[in-house]
Chains A and B, each alone.
Chain A
Amino acid sequence: MKLETSMGARFVSWWRHSIRGADALLHEAQTDRNDADELQHFYEETVNELVRQGMPRTQAERQARASIGNPTSTRETVRAARWENAVHSVVTDISYALRMLRRSPVFSVVVVLVIALGIGAVTSILSAANALLFTPISGAVNADRLVGIDRVQPGTNGGAQASQPYYVFLRERNRTLSAMAAWGKADFSIGRTTGNGESVAVYGNIVSANFFSVLGVTPYLGRFFLPEEDATPNTHPVVVVAYDFWRTTLGADSTLIGNEVLVNGTAFTLVGVAPPKFRGVFTPIISSAWVPLMMVSRIRPTSDVASPHASWLWMFGRMRDGVNREAVRADLVALTKQRIAERVEADWMWRLSDVRLVSLTGLPDDAQKVIRAFMSVLLGVSLLVLLIACVNVAAMLSARALARMPEMAIRVALGAARGRVIRQLLTENLVLFAIGAGAGIAIAMVATWAFERLPLPNAVPISLELSPDWRVMMIALVVSLFTGLLFGVVPARQAASADIQSRMRGDSRSGGRIIGGVSRGLVSNVLVVAQLALSLVLLVSAGLLLRALVRGAQTDPGFQARGVTVTTLRPEAWGYDAQRANAFYQLLEERVRAIPGVTAVSYAERLPLQFSSSGDNIQLDDAPIGKDGKRQGTVVTYSLVGEQYFDVLRLPLMSGRTFVRGDDSGSARVAVVNEQFVKRYWPQGNAVGRSFTFHDRRVTVVGVARNAKYASLTEPNDPHLYFPLAQEMRNERSLMVRSGNSANSAGFGEARPVSRETELSQQRAMQAAIRDAIKAIDAALPRADVTSLEKSTSFALLPQRIAAMVTGAMGAVGLLLATVGLYGIISYSVSRRSREIGIRMALGARAQDVQRLVLASGMKLAGLGVLIGLILAMGASQLLVAYLYGVSPLDAPTFVATAALFIAVAWLASWLPARRAAGLDPVVVLRQG
C-alpha cells in the first residue's frame, strides 16, 4: 500500500538517516545548539501567545515553562531518539571508563595483570599443544582430504611401517584414494662438490616421486621428482632441498639447480628447492632434503628398497571426492588381507592385518598420546590459573561495585536509567578485560618465544612453530570478553539495584557484616576461599613435582654417567657401506683408546636414558607350547653393547663374565642378563650357563649384571638383556669413552674432589680430542656432536622439569592473586567497619582486641580455603602419579609445607589491614561517620 516501502525509497531513506546521523555526530555542538534554539523559540512563542491573550508576562513565562517542561531533559530525549546517539554513548562510556580506571590505578593494574597472566598461560599452553599436535603441513592443498595410513595389528595400536612393495601394492590396487605417497626417514650429510669437501649433517626423507604432488606443494625453485626418477633402483640420483637449507648452507645459490651436490658421499643432482616453511609431513621435525625411494641404498646402504620384509615407510594418501575415511579403511584392509594371503612378507607381518587412518598433522599418533597427556596436565594447570584469575577479578569487581553503590545510587536518583548505569559498569569491566587480554597475548608471545628455544633432547632438529596462532588468540579474546561480561553483570546489577536511600547513606550497618557471613559480602568471601583453595592445589602439585625432580636427580641409574664422553655415529649418512663402516669403527676405537686419559672405550647401539629401547620376543625353555607349535614368547628389552660397555658405565657384574673380542658373528650366541631377569625367570639362580631361544637361535647366558635404568629413570625394574654388538650388526652406533680420574662411584649430582671447572675443561678437551680423531679418519665427515653422557641423560628429567616449572610459576601466580584478593577483602571490610570499630574503641576496646578481631576474620577465610584446597589437592595429585617417580601423591611434607606457607601468607595479608584498623582514631572515625 505504502509507496515508500519499495526497496529504492527505503534505501534512500536509510541512506539519508545514515548521512544525517553521521553529520549530527560530527557536528554535535551545532546540532545541540539547533535543538536548543528550536526549543527556545517554542518557549518564546508560547509566552508571546499567552501575553497576547492578556496574561501578565511573568505569569505567562511561568506557565510556558511548566507546559514545556525541563528544557535540558527534553533536549536529552530528542537526542536519545537519534541512532548516532548509541555510538556516541558507547564512546562516552569507554572514555569515562578509562577515566575511572585511571583514578584507581592500583586496582586497574592488578586486574589487568591478573587477567593477563591467566590468558597468557592458557594461550601459551594451547599454542604449544597446537604446534605439537595440529600443525598443518605447510603448503598442502585441501589438507582435510589427506590421511595418514598405518598398518596395525587388529585390536591394538601396535603397528609397523610399510615396505616399498606393500606400498606399491596398495597404491596400484586401491579404489578409494586418488593418489598415495610414502616416505622414510634418513640421516643425510650434504656438501658441495667443490671447496673443502666438508658436509653438513641434516635430517631428511626418502620419498615416493609423487610425495610433493599428493600434498599439493609447489617448488620454490626448479622442480620436484618425475615418475621415472622413482622407477628403477639407483639410476636417478636427484635431490630436493628445503628452502632454509638452500638459503643457509648452500648460500641461496640458484645456479646450483641442475648441478651436483654430495649427498651421503654420492653425487646427486639438485633439481629443486621446496617452498619456505615446508619441512615435510612430520612437521615438528625439520626435513632438509628429499631423495626418491629408489635411491634409498645410496642413503642407507643397508636398506633394500625391494624387500617385502623391510618396514621403513610411512604412507599417506588423498581421498577421492565423495569417499569417506571408513570406505578408504575398508578398501585398504581388504587389500592388506589379500597381501597377507600372498605370503610374500616376513612371518611377523602377517599379524598386521588392519589399517588405521590417522591425521596427517603434527606428531605421529603414538607420540601424540604421551604429549597429549602431558599437555593436558599443563593445560589443566593453566585453566586453573585462568579460573583463579577470573574469580579474583570477580571478587575485586564485586567489592568495587559495593564501594561504588552510593555513587550509582546518586546517578539513579538524578535520573539515570538503571540500564544505563549497568551499561556503564559493564563497559568499565570490558575495557579492563580487553586491556588484560592484550597484555595476556603479549605474555603468550614472550612465553612461546622462550619455550621454542628450550633445549630439547636428541640430535634431531626439532622445530616447533610456536607462535601463538590467531585462532588461539581469538579464543582467548572471546573467553576474556565473555568473562568480563559474566563477572561484570552480577556486581553491576547489584550496584544499580533499587533501595536508593540506604545506598546513598553508605549503609555502614549491612557493610559491617561483610565478614560475619550472610551479607552482600558473601560472594566475595566465597570467591577468596575458592582462590586460596585452587592456588593451594597448584602449589601442592608444584611441590610434588619438585620433590619428584629432586628424587629423580638422586635416583641411582645403576651406572655412573660422570666421566663418560659420548657421540653418535651415522656412517650410512656418510655414504659408508657396512664394510667401510666397520673399518671406520675399528680404526676410531684404536685412535680414541690412544688418547691420554682414556680408560675404557665401547660402542653401543644406543645411549642409556634416551626414552627409547629395543624389545623383542625370546622363548624360554619352560614356556608353554603355543598353537603354532613354537614355545610362547616373552617380550624383553635388550641393549646391543661392545666389550667394554660395562667398564665404561661402571655397571657392576654380579657373576659370570662380560663380552670378549671372541663373541662375534662366527661364535656361539651369548648374552648378559640383569638381576631382575634372573629373579623373574630363573628364581632358583644359577643363571650363568643357562640358555634361551632368540630369533630361532640358542643364546647362552654368560654373565649377570646389576639392575640399571635403561630407557628412563621412571621405568620399573624389568628384566633386561645385553647382546654383543658383534653378533647383531647395527650400522648406527654410539661411541662411549670413559676418561679421567673420576674414581668415585654412585649416581648423579654428588660432590667430587675435583673442582667443577677443572672437570668441565677436562671434558671439553676430551670432546675435542674425539672430534679430531674422527676428522683425522675422514675429513669429509660432518662435524661430530660430541658431548658428555651426563648432559645427554639430563633430559631424562625434562618432563618433570617443565611440569614443575609451569605448575610452580602458576601456583606462585595463583598464591599472589589469592593473597591480593584476601588483602583486598579484609582491608575493604575494615574500611566498611571503621565506624563500628570506632564505636568499639570508644567503648573501651583496646587496639590489640581490634587487631585480633580483624585478623581472626581473615584467618577464618584462609583456614577454610586451605582446608578445601588440601582436599582438592589430594584428588588432583593422583593425576600426577606418572610424573612423580614414586613420590607419594599424598606426600605429607609437601602438603604440610604448602599449607603452612598459605597460612603464613594469609596471616600477613590480614595483618596489614588489622594493624591499620587498630590504629584508627575513634574520634575521627565517628565524626566522619
Chain B
Amino acid sequence: MGDQETPENTDVIQGTLDLLILKSLSLEPMHGFGVARRIEQISRGVFKINPGSLMIAFQRMERAGMLDAEWRQTENARRAKYYKLTRTGKKQLEVETADWRRRAAAVARLLNAEA
C-alpha cells in the first residue's frame, strides 16, 4: 500500500536481520528508526523493515547481550530508545559477517557453475 516507490522491495532474507542490525549499529548508537532508514538507504530500498520485526529483533538481541539500550531525549522533547553494540555484539558481527561471506560465496559459486 505504501511502497509505490520501491517496486523491488524485498523481505529481509531469513536470519540476516540480526546481521543487518549489527552492521548498522557498528558505526554509532542509533534509535530504531535510524537503523531502519540506514538499512533501507544502503540497500537502496531493497530491504524495507517494518517496526514490529525490528522491535522484536532488538528485544531478542538485547536479551542475548548483543545490544545495550538507553532512553534519550530527542530534539523535539520525545523519548527515543538508542541501541549500541556490546562487546558480544561486536564479536557476533564478526562471526556473522564471516559466516555470511562464506555462504554468499558458496551460493555464488554454485550459481556460476550452473550457468
Contacts and interface: CB of A to CB of B under 8 A. Distances in A.
B55 A39 contact: yes
A3 B60 CA distance: 18
Interface stretch (A65-73, A326-334, A836-844): A65-73
A742 interface: no
Contacts, number: 84
Given A16-B65, A46-B33, A77-B56, A41 B50 contact: no
Given A42-B36, A67-B50, 20 more contacts: A1-B99, A4-B64, A20-B63, A34-B71, A34-B81, A37-B79, A38-B32, A38-B55, A38-B80, A41-B31, A41-B32, A41-B33, A41-B81, A42-B51, A49-B37, A67-B3, A68-B50, A74-B50, A78-B52, A78-B59
A3 B64 contact: no
A35 interface: yes
A68 B95 contact: no
Nearest to B102: A1
Contacts of B56: 77-78, 81
- Sort A-B residue pairs by CB-CB distance and give the 7 closest, nearest first: A45-B33, A67-B2, A66-B2, A74-B52, A81-B56, A41-B80, A42-B51
A63 interface: yes
6 contacts: A3-B95, A38-B55, A41-B80, A46-B33, A66-B2, A74-B50
A41 B79 contact: yes
B2 A63 contact: yes
B88 interface: yes
Contact of B65 (A12, A40, A42): A12
A42 B59 contact: no
A38 B31 CA distance: 9
B95 to A, nearest CB: 6
Contacts of B109: none
A1 B102 CA distance: 13
Main SS class of interface, B:
helix
Interface in B60-101: 60, 62-65, 71, 74, 76, 78-81, 88, 91-92, 95, 99
B51 A39 contact: yes
A13 interface: yes
A320 interface: no
B63 A16 contact: yes
Nearest to B55: A78
A38 B80 CA distance: 6
Nearest to B36: A42
B31 to A, nearest CB: 6
A4 B79 contact: no
B59 A40 contact: no
Contacts of B3: 67
Contacts of B81: 34, 37-38, 41
B1 interface: yes
Contact of B1 (A9, A13, A66): A66
Interface of B: 1-3, 31-34, 36-37, 50-52, 55-56, 59-60, 62-65, 71, 74, 76, 78-81, 88, 91-92, 95, 99
Contacts of B52: 69, 74, 77-78
A81 B57 CA distance: 9
A4 B50 CA distance: 28
Interface string A12-43: 11001100110000000000001101111110
A69 B52 CA distance: 9
A697 interface: no
B59 A82 contact: yes
A249 to B, nearest CB: 69
Contacts of B64: 4, 13, 16-17
B108 to A, nearest CB: 20
A34 B79 CA distance: 9
A2 interface: yes
A198 interface: no
Nearest to A68: B51
Nearest to B95: A2
B115 to A, nearest CB: 30
A91 B67 CA distance: 30
Contacts of A3: 91, 95
Nearest to A9: B88
A790 interface: no
A5 to B, nearest CB: 10
Contacts of A577: none
Given A13-B64, A40-B78, A41-B78, A35 B92 contact: no
A92 B64 CA distance: 27
Given A37-B79, A38-B32, A41-B32, A81 B59 contact: yes
A13 B66 CA distance: 10
B74 to A, nearest CB: 7
Contact of A69 (B50, B59, B91): B50
B2 A1 contact: no
A730 B51 CA distance: 99
A472 to B, nearest CB: 44
Contacts of A39: 51, 55
Nearest to A67: B2
Given A39-B55, A66-B1, A20 B62 contact: yes
Nearest to A2: B95
A365 interface: no
